[in-house]
Amino acid sequence: AQTVTQSQPEMSVQEAETVTLSCTYDTSESDYYLFWYKQPPSRQMILVIRQEAYKQQNATENRFSVNFQKAAKSFSLKISDSQLGDAAMYFCAYRSSGNDMRFGAGTRLTVKP
Amino acid sequence: NAGVTQTPKFQVLKTGQSMTLQCAQDMNHNSMYWYRQDPGMGLRLIYYSASEGTTDKGEVPNGYNVSRLNKREFSLRLESAAPSQTSVYFCASTELGLNSPLHFGNGTRLTVT
């Protein structure tokens, strides 16, 4: 079974600084997608960014970018110029041909003013 | 555009009581999912329905049943609630295709006493 591991239960960053959240996964599939979701205190799940396994180029969405290392099965999220509104739980997720999506345990990000 | 709608938002049950969580989506998605979220464990898949007329077990199906009533609706039933089922429950939907993200409802906080 595929597993997704987020080894950092909590992280903090100073406003305007950069922070990287880690995620590793275990799979024997060759084709899959990886996602990062944000969950603010409102409990809403918000898609941040996604990456296809076959694409070597790292995905970028404004201040959010990923470092995808396929051989190492690593998919970290970098948040640049952190803002107070970035404070949330962040979940890494994996989806393959099995059609379901598996999530990591999450990282709680605190942004200090 | 409502997206994914879950009802109720909050519920308190006594041990042994039954209830059904309702979920409906208006995006014409084929696939629907039920997850539970517990502190330190992320989101764990209970059941999913890849398409109308099919359902499959996820990681933690014990104590739950589901019904894919039609393409729009996917309900989750607890026949005899237990304190271990205290959690936040999320319904989600998506199109087929690995690159399609899940769209989530706003969750149901269930407490079983």
Q: Angle at the Cα of B24 (from B78 to B48), degrees rounded to 5?
A: 55
Mean pLDDT of A99-111: 91
Q: How many CA atoms lie within 13 A of A96 on its CB side?
A: 16
Distance CA B33, CA B10 (A): 19
Quick one: pLDDT at residue A99?
67
Residue of A nearest to B89 (CA): A43
Interchain CB distance below 8 Å, B99 and A96: no
Distance CA A44, CA B63 (A): 25
Residue of A nearest to B108 (CA): A43
Res. A84 pLDDT band, cuts 50 70 90: very high
CB B3 within 8 A of CB B32: no
Quick one: pLDDT at residue B41?
84
Interchain CB distance below 8 Å, B42 and A100: no
**Alpha-carbon distance B59 to nearest alpha carbon in chain A (angstroms):** 9
Quick one: pLDDT at residue A75?
96
Distance CA B108, CA B59 (A): 19
Residue of A nearest to B30 (CA): A99
Instruction: List pLDDT tens digits, range A5-40.
Output: 999 999 999 999 999 999 999 988 888 999 999 999
Quick one: pLDDT at residue B39?
85
CB B4 within 8 A of CB B25: yes
Size of interface A-B (CB pairs under 8 A): 54
With beta carbons under 8 A apart, name residues in chain A contacting B42: 4, 6, 91, 103-106
Question: Residues 34..63 of A with a Cβ closer than 8 Å to B: which?
Answer: 35, 42-45, 47, 50, 52
Interchain CB distance below 8 Å, A6 and B99: no
Partner residue opposite A91 with nearest CB, options B43, B92, B96: B43
With beta carbons under 8 A apart, name residues in chain B contacting A9: 40
Residue of B nearest to A91 (CA): B42
- pLDDT over threshold 70, residue A2: no
DSSP B83: G
**Alpha-carbon distance A33 to nearest alpha carbon in chain B (angstroms):** 6
Instruction: List pLDDT tens digits, range A45-78.
Output: 999 999 998 888 898 999 999 999 999 999 999 9
CB-based contact, A102 to chain B, within 8 Å: yes
Q: Mark the ranges of chain B whose per-residue pLDDT is less than 50.
A: none
State whether residue A86 is helix, strand or coil: helix
Quick one: pLDDT at residue A98?
67
